[in-house]
Amino acid sequence: MTATPAPTDATAPEKNDFIRQIIREDLASGKHAAVRTRFPPEPNGYLHIGHAKSICLNFGIGREFGGPVNLRFDDTNPAKEDPEYVEAIKEDVRWLGFEWAELRHASDYFEVFYRSAIKLIEDGKAYVCDLNAEQVREYRGTLTEPGRNSPFRERSVAENLDLFTRMRAGEFPDGARTLRAKIDMASGNINLRDPAIYRIKHVEHQNTGNAWPIYPMYDYAHCLSDALEGITHSLCTLEFEDHRPLYDWCVDHVDLVRNPHLYQPLVDAGFAVPAAKPRQIEFSRLNINYTVMSKRKLLALVDEGLVNGWDDPRLPTLQGLRRRGCPPAALRLLADRVGISKQNSLIDFSVLEGCIREVMDAAAPRRMAVIDPVKLVVTNLPEGHAESLVFANHPKDPAFGERAVPFSREVWIEREDFMEVPPKGFHRLVPGGEVRLRGVGIVRCDEVVKDGDTIVELRCTLDPESRAGMEGANRKVKGTIHWVAAATAVAAEVRLYDRLFSVPDPDKDEAGKTYRDYLNPDSVRAVRGWLEPSAATLAPEAPVQFERLGFFTADRRDHAPAAPVFNRTVTLRDTWAAKGGA
């Protein structure tokens, strides 16, 4: 069985967003002989769907323009970082279908960052400041008022070098001093008001151990990492637009291209250092309603037990989306559909669901399952009747082949496919009415058996002239329902997932409510279902469409043929549109 292949880079239409236009112009002008990009996550949490857009952009550009893409962990804050996150991030990138040219860490460059800071001090561009965090905020000014110079701003180069080397030696406690860039305390851009570039933290680092009691700030380390790796186009989201002047300031004043002695330790260690001056370009991040993507809030959901871990299928984390069954091709399709722009926008959750449906419709074989069963007995078939029927695995793709489906006198059907008092427009089974039993023939309901008010059995007659392939099968009957043979049905746990939040904007804090108050109580419901036997044998993470029920995926952790577990990835249609988006 083969799935319809996704478009390759050779067959996909050329993308022409503003970033790619810049890259084409840079290549055409000779500014760059080749393109080099990177994906630079901080290993302080799990990646979410917003990161998928950045991954697809950076690695997609690498594929399109034939340039290498580095995966670099910006691990400059060890107090919040964990090797668990590192491994999950690497797994996520590969799951999305990408591979990096080189794996790098900001911590690989700690000695270079330190040497570069010494250069800034020697050039009169950085100083050691003794103000504490509260005082720094007080001196910084506001968006409408300039800041004030630190009383330590005019320390001599010699004093700054002495203090900074003693910071490096671990002589001072956490928070006692910082190294600040000397830029402009009156700047209209608050990021240029002498930002800190080093702080004291006596914290063990996952890669460097206790070698460093000081750590570089993100804005300082990030841009120099890009320069060291020869990144030509440093792509980041719009919240870093105001940081770009600082990015350029650090790159320009350290000037690694003209000061190769600063990165000589890397060369001695065998690193390739294609030093260059990178260009930062910002684009809008991916925002989707009915979810939260703040790392702080996601961590709270996990730590407070409001979800079942980072891979809970209701979370927007890539681990959660994968476990739910979202195909990586659907996230790549979403990134293409959303596009790249400078305008922040909010994407409706239904756009993601539409991408999932589109990909799964082509890639998922069909099977029959019943999740709210009621027994239907075909009374004019003999006791013990058993036969095998042939069904196509995919109605649109013969390459998926066919399968044998057992049929017996007693079958399970969905309880909602029968109504004693049907509403107008109901075209399924009713007392005395007929319906087509999928692939079998036309049955008429003759008797309804109850236990109190509960229907326990429907006794029906099969029209023998309406069997599949016979002339009577062409007789017009409005409804067709699916079924599973009771004698051979396999019991399964079916987890019916829905949106985690019940409102489009759970981030809004009003009337004393927080995102916790908007959790959807119906976001997951586990039921016992019945499957045709071939569904149970699907491998973990295998996609499937349970006919008329939705697209499902065998759970990657809990599923086994002897104890099947399926997650509903997405419904067949947008059920939230009918609710008016709430």
Q: What CATH number has the domain bearing residue 457?
A: 2.40.240.10
Last residue of a domain, one of 482, 500, 533: 482
**What percent of the chain clears pLDDT 70, i.e. is strictly above it?**
97
Cα-Cα-Cα-Cα dihedral sign, residues 163, 168, 174, 177: positive
pLDDT at 575 over 90: no
d(CA 280, CA 232): 9
For the segment 306-334, the average pLDDT, to the nearest whole number, is: 97
Res. 8 pLDDT band, cuts 50 70 90: very low
Amino acid identity, position 461: T
pLDDT at 1 over 90: no
Residue 436 and residue 425 share a domain: yes
Residue 498 and residue 353 share a domain: yes
> What is the pLDDT at residue 580?
56
Residue 403 and residue 307 share a domain: no
For the segment 456-472, the average pLDDT, to the nearest whole number, is: 93
Three-state secondary structure call for residue 204:
coil
pLDDT tens track for 486-528:
999 999 999 999 999 999 999 988 888 999 999 999 999 999 9
Residue with tokens 């800071």: 117
Q: What is the CA radius of gyration of the chain?
A: 31
Res. 71 pLDDT band, cuts 50 70 90: very high
Residue 467 and residue 322 share a domain: no
Q: In terms of DSSP bridges, do strands 373-378 and 454-462 run parallel, antiparallel, or are they unpaired?
A: parallel
Could you confirm whether 476 is annotated as catalytic?
Answer: no
pLDDT at 9 over 50: no
pLDDT at 178 over 90: yes
Catalytic residue among 63, 295, 297, 548: 295
Residue 451 and residue 534 share a domain: no
Residue 381 and residue 350 share a domain: no
Residue 472 and residue 565 share a domain: no
Residue 333 and residue 419 share a domain: no
Is 349 a member of any domain? yes
Residue 381 and residue 436 share a domain: yes
Is 389 a member of any domain? yes
pLDDT tens track for 120-169:
999 999 999 999 999 999 999 999 999 999 999 999 999 999 999 999 99
- Residues within the annotated binding site? 42-44, 48-54, 74, 218, 237, 285-286, 293-295
Is 460 a member of any domain? yes
The beta-strand segments (E) located in 95-177 are 102-105, 126-129
Could you confirm whether 285 is annotated as catalytic?
Answer: yes
Last residue of a domain, one of 439, 455, 482: 482
For the segment 241-259, the average pLDDT, to the nearest whole number, is: 97
- Residues within the annotated binding site for ATP? 42-44, 48-54, 237, 285-286, 293-295
End-to-end CA gap in the chain: 39
d(CA 87, CA 310): 13
In terms of phi and psi (left: phi > 0; alpha: psi -120 to 50; beta: otherwise), the region of 221 is: alpha
Catalytic residue among 36, 42, 499, 532: 42
Last residue of a domain, one of 428, 463, 482: 482
Is 199 a member of any domain? no
> What is the pLDDT at residue 345?
85
Residue 498 and residue 349 share a domain: yes
Domain that holds residue 477: 369-482
Cα–chain-centroid distance for residue 63?
21
d(CA 402, CA 389): 10
Residue 473 and residue 399 share a domain: yes
> What is the pLDDT at residue 11?
52
Is 9 a member of any domain? no
On average, the pLDDT of the chain sits at 95
Total structural domains in the chain?
Answer: 2
Largest CA distance in the chain: 101
- Residues within the annotated binding site for L-glutamine? 74, 218
For the segment 344-349, the average pLDDT, to the nearest whole number, is: 91
Is 414 a member of any domain? yes
Task: Name the H helices within 312-471.
Answer: 318-324, 328-338, 349-363
Is 43 a member of any domain? no
Catalytic residue among 80, 153, 285, 459: 285
> What is the pLDDT at residue 512?
83
Is 266 a member of any domain? no
List the one residue out of 574, 158, 509, 61 whose CA is nearest residue 354.
574
Residue 502 and residue 353 share a domain: yes
pLDDT at 578 over 90: no
pLDDT tens track for 393-413:
999 999 999 999 999 999 999
Could you confirm whether 119 is annotated as catalytic?
Answer: no
CB 109 within 8 A of CB 228: yes
